[in-house]
Amino acid sequence: MRLFLDTASIDEVRAAARYGVISGVTTNPSLLAKEGGVSYRQRIQEIASVVDGPISAECVSRKADDLVVEARELASWHPNVVVKIPIDSEGLEAIHRCSAEGIKINVTLVFSANQALLAALAGATFLSPFVGRLDDVSYDGMELIRECVHLVETHDLPARVLAASLRHPLHVAQAAAAGAHIGTIPAALIPQMLKHPLTDIGIDRFLADARTAGLI
């Protein structure tokens, strides 16, 4: 499973890039709003200068014609841009039209296998089931990940399943075990995934023994 960073903060992108484990970035208007007035285009291009991989930029239009126009604009910002479009009837038409033009689409707000199937058939590049939000309403979000992975792999559909709304390290491990092709995570999850008390204890003991042996 590949990892994308879910952020519009260039500082978070730069910090995460040092580890060599991030292969893409997902953004949305809510994340951009936290960034203090920087233009969406400028921030996407800044991110592209750090991470050489898919960078999702989200449409805000709600009609198919407007979505297509907006998607063309977003895609023009950088070759790595993937346009995020929510799944509904207008979105589905726009996904089909944009995909036919060669614009890569990340279909967002996926909450059912039926939505994922329609999006994949319309030409989506990525399908983004929202794990955490399903958990919030007492539905097993990981089961949807498994369903979507089974769907695309059984029917040899080109779309990749991107597990979104991952909120804690267990979510990441579960998404990987469920077969998600990609997981998108907030920057705070990287140190949490890295941390384990037994690792800390082991390092402390190693250093103590090294001092006893006069190695340090």
Characterise 154 by phi-psi region: left (phi > 0), alpha (psi -120 to 50), beta (else): alpha
CB 60 within 8 Å of CB 83? no
**How many angstroms separate the CA atoms of 164 and 159, rounded?**
15
Examine the residue annotation and report whether 84 is marked as an active-site residue of this protein.
yes
The torsion angles phi and psi of 108, rounded to 5 degrees, stand at -105, 165
CA atoms within 13 A on the CB side of 42: 7
Of 34, 63, 84, 104, the catalytic one is 84
CB 130 within 8 Å of CB 141? yes
Which among 114, 94, 62 has a CA at the least distance from the CA of 106?
94
Between helices 40-48 and 10-17, what is the axis angle to 10°? 10
Catalytic residues: 84
